[in-house]
Amino acid sequence: MLCIMLPLASLGPLEAQTPTAEAPSAERDAVEFNLREGTPNIFDKLSHGNPVKIAYLGGSITAQEGWRVQSRAWLKRQFPETGIEEINAAIGGTGSDLGVFRIQSDVLDHKPDLLFVEFAVNDAKALPERIRKAVEGIVRKTWRELPGCDIVFVYTITLDDIETLKSGKVQRSAGVMEEVADHYGIPSVHFGIEVARLEREGKLVMKSADGEMTRVSGSELDAAADLPTNAQGQIVFSKDGVHPYPETGHRLYTRALVNALSALRKTEAPPQLHTLKPALVKENWETARQISLTPGLLEGPAAQADQAKGVGKEFLHRVSSLWKLEPGAVLRFKFKGTKAALYDLLGPDGCMLEITVDEKARKITRFDGYCTYYRLGILNIADNLPDSVHEVTLKVLDESPDKTGILFERNRDDLLKHPEKYNRLNWYAGAILVVGEIVE
């Protein structure tokens, strides 16, 4: 084990009567990368000219044309005779709790040789136990199906993480993921170590509108090149403190990854299949499943989205099914397991739902401050349930949320200009997500 030390959108689940006790998470030192048991397979395939597939599972930072594009370009320069295919499995605003359910369709079905997992930012407010269950589920699902696939965890940052990093520690979400990485010997790379050092030295500002979000190409992909600076001679990391500019923040991220990949390449470990150790968390979400909706599960006014237009055209490449449910429509299902959720859309015509689990009902609003547009989301229905059969009913209500009050102030002007977008009440249900299995 080699460590390189450098200075420095979801509704809460219905809990069971006796929720799982929250295990404490120890603080972790800020480490740029940890090789652990390495990546024994990917560099052997690359060096022998075998075509490879690299999957990027994460949120909006990975979805940007940044470190994902730049790292693949760097690998291509190192192995110019090798075909390197990208599997872009990044969805903005989503964390590991959705990643573990969609990894089968978005990643594993495409047979990757290397998987990068990036959820530290979007898991920032998640409970440590939830992160452990989801991230361990991602690892176990991957190696049970594809034992030859190497995995690397990468940790991105926001402005809120800088002070923690400057104190020599990593943010909580990354620290929890490091527990899983330790247990399975998975290499990890923290993208924020050099960022925090530069910020502490006054050479970088984390947030400033004095920059442009540009698509990187050509020489700009050279991670070793000097970074552009502002009039004060400082590197401008991002516009919003979260999403790096491709030509600055993302290139710092790429530098960190290149450092780690270069070290991993030098380990020269013989190719070998990864084996699953006993689970770190017995209740991990290895059995997470995504189940398409069928007409037999629905009652009332419900129709499949048209894949040729509207939300169907925009999102059906991501979800296995997509239905529009109007007020009065009902979705019912039974499952045996410990957790249930829905993969759905949030948007301007969002509505209110009544959710009933084992005869216990509650109302929720499926509309938030960002809902000037449609985006994928996860609706948590129930968690930490006994591993037995549970009945779930979701009904679309004929009552509107206070959309003006819920929208962020900066977004209310869109409602005033386009009221027709917000007057309708619909729920777009994508797929059932369960830890367990659907039963008749």
Q: How far is the CA of 164 from the CAs of 200, 289, 304, 331, 364, in angstroms?
A: 12, 35, 47, 44, 35
> Beta partners for 236?
205
pTM of the predicted model, to two decimals?
0.87
Rounded Cα distance between 95 and 188, Å, is 17
Can you give the pLDDT at residue 88?
Answer: 97
DSSP string across 133-151: HHHHHHHHHHHHH-TT-EE
Residues of the chain with pLDDT under 50: 1-23, 212-224
Q: How many CB atoms lie within 10 A of CB 251?
A: 26
Can you give the pLDDT at residue 230?
Answer: 85
Can you give the pLDDT at residue 20?
Answer: 39
Residue 75 CA, chain-centre distance (Å), reads: 23
Go through the domains of the chain in sequence order and give each one's CATH number: 3-266 (3.40.50.1110), 288-439 (2.60.120.260)
Residues 6+ apart with CB under 8 A from 197: 6, 7, 8
Q: How far is the CA of 318 from the CAs of 10, 107, 312, 322, in angstroms?
A: 18, 11, 10, 10
* CA-CA-CA-CA dihedral for 160, 19, 102, 128, to nearest 10: 30
By three-state DSSP, how is residue 56 classified? strand
Angle at 102 between CA 308 and CA 334, to 5 degrees: 95
Measure the N-to-C terminal CA separation of the chain; round to a whole number of Å. 48
Whether the CB-CB separation of 6 and 193 falls below 8 Å is answered with: yes
Residues 6+ apart with CB under 8 A from 190: 30, 31, 32, 33, 154, 155, 170, 174, 256
By three-state DSSP, how is residue 170 classified? coil
Rounded Cα distance between 147 and 141, Å, is 10
Q: What is the pLDDT of residues 17-43, one digit of tens each?
A: 333 344 456 689 999 999 999 999 999
